[in-house]
Amino acid sequence: MSNFDLIKELALQEQTKIVMLVMDGLGGLPLTAGGKTELETAHTPHLDRLAQEGICGLSIPIARGITPGSGPAHLALFGYDPLRYEIGRGVLEAVGIGFELGPEDVAARGNFCTIDQNGLITDRRAGRIPTEECAKLCELLQTIQLPDVQVFVRPVKEHRFVLVLRGKGLTDGIADTDPQQVGLSPLPAVADRPEAQPTADLFNTWLARAREVLADHHPANMATLRGIAKTPALPQMGEVFKLRCGAIATYPMYRGVAKLVGMELLPTGDTVASEFDTLREHFSNYDFFYLHVKKTDSYGEDGNFDAKVHMIEEVDALIPRLMELRPDVVAVTGDHSTPALLRSHSWHPVPTLVWSAHAGADAATAFSETECARGALGHFPATELMPVLMANALRLAKFGA
C-alpha cells in the first residue's frame, strides 16, 4: 500500500482551510562563502513570525542532488510521487501555453531547426528566431491537414512550438525526431510498439508536409518533434484529499499543472497583490488554495540576487492579508531552489514552514535556509508536505487502533 492510498483511506471532510503559498525557486545560495542567501538577506518580519509560531524544515523535491523541472516539482508539492506520475514534455509545453488538452490528444514539443541542401541539421534551434516569427510560421504550419484528425500548431517562444493531434485511437510511444546533434538528418517518428504505428505515420506525414511548407523560410526551414505524450491519468486532488482545491497562478504552466491534478483555476491579475486579492475573494468557496508566485524564480534565473530579495520582501508584506483571513493551516515553500548565483533551478532543498495552531515546537526563529535546517520538519520529501498539512488541518483519521 502506498502512502497515497493511505491518505485516500484516512482523509476526512472537515471545515478547515489550508493555504499553500509557493514562491517559485525560493531556495538560494550566498554569493560568497559564509554570506547570506536571498531569503536570509530579505527583511521578512511576517514570514519570520510564522516560522517562530510554526515549524520549519527543508523539503526535497525529487531526491537529494536532483534538480527538478517545474512540472515534477509541483506534482511533488501536491503529494504526487514525481517519479511515478510523469507529465510528458509535449503535454507540459501545451499546458504551459494554456492549451486545453483533451484526454485523447497527443502533444509534441516542436523545435524549428535549420537544414542544409542535403537535409542535414546545421542549427537545432534555427538561430533562435524571434517569437513573432515563430507565430507566423505556426500559422503556415496550421494549414497542414491530416486525415481524420484535427491538428493544432501553437507558438511557444523563439524556436519552440506545440503540435497537438486530436482524434480517435491516437497513442503516445513515439520516439523524438530530433537527433540531438548537428550534421545529421531529422529522424522519422518511430513507434516503439506496434499499436503506436498509425500515430507515428500521422506525425511522419505531418513532418513531410512541414518540410515543404517551411522550405523557403530559412533559417527555420524544418522542424523536429520531442516528448510526444498524452495527458497522464492523474488521481484528482479532490478525490484523494477530499479537498475542494482552488489554484491562483498567473503563468499558464502552473495553471496547467494545477488543472491536471483537479484544481479549479481562479481568475486573477498579474501582480502578487492581485493574487492575494483573489484568495480573499474566493476564500469561503474552497478548502485548499495553491497560490503561486513566479518572479522569485524568474529573478533567480536572471542571476538578479537583489530583485529576488525584493520579490521575497514584496510577498512578506502581503502575509498579513493572508493571515487576516484566519486560515487553519499555512505552508510557505518553493517548488525548488533557484539560486541567483547559479542562474538556474538547483538541487538544494527548499525552505519550508508550516503554521497552524498545533504544528509543533522547534528552535527555528526565522524563515531561512539555516533556520529551516534545525526545524521540527527536518529534511523531508516534498510529497509528504500534503499529509502534514492535512494532519494540521485535522483532516486525517487515525491509522489503526
Question: What residues numbered 85-144 form the site for a second copy, per CB under 8 A?
Answer: 86-87, 89, 92-93
Contact 41/309 with Cβ under 8 angstroms? yes
Contacts to a second copy from residues 9-48, by CB under 8 A = 10, 29-30, 33-37, 40
Q: Which stretch binds a second copy (CB under 8 A): 130-138, 174-182, 280-288, 342-350?
A: 342-350
Residue (61 or 219) nearer to a second copy, CB: 61
Select from 16, 46, 68, 186 the one that contacts a second copy (CB under 8 A): 68
Q: Which stretch binds a second copy (CB under 8 A): 192-200, 201-209, 314-322, 388-396?
A: 388-396
Select from 82, 256, 327, 334 the one that contacts a second copy (CB under 8 A): 82
Q: At its nearest, how many Å lie between a second copy and the CB of residue 208?
A: 28
* Binding-site size, a second copy (CB under 8 A): 72
Residue (274 or 365) nearer to a second copy, CB: 365
Residue (89 or 242) nearer to a second copy, CB: 89
Contact 57/368 with Cβ under 8 angstroms? no
Torsion of CA 343, 349, 352, 358, to 10 degrees: 180
Note the maximum CA span of the chain. 74
Residue 370 found at the interface with a second copy (CB under 8 A): yes
Select from 62, 141, 164, 248 the one that contacts a second copy (CB under 8 A): 62
Cell of 16: 478547515
Residue (213 or 234) nearer to a second copy, CB: 234
Residue 400 found at the interface with a second copy (CB under 8 A): yes
Region class of 262: left (phi > 0), else alpha (psi between -120 and 50), else beta = left
Residue 375 found at the interface with a second copy (CB under 8 A): yes
Q: At its nearest, how many Å lie between a second copy and the CB of residue 363?
A: 5
Per DSSP, the three-state class of 302 is helix
Select from 43, 157, 218, 358 the one that contacts a second copy (CB under 8 A): 358
Residue 349 found at the interface with a second copy (CB under 8 A): yes
Strands across the sheet with 264-265, in order?
A: 264-265, 245-248, 288-293, 18-23, 329-333, 350-356, 55-60, 378-381
Residue (151 or 319) nearer to a second copy, CB: 319
Residue type, 214: L
Residues 6+ apart with CB under 8 A from 339: 27, 28, 29, 37, 38, 300, 346, 348
Rounded to whole angstroms, the Cα distance separating 152 from 141 reads: 9
Q: At its nearest, how many Å lie between a second copy and the CB of residue 198?
A: 27
Cell of 283: 476564500
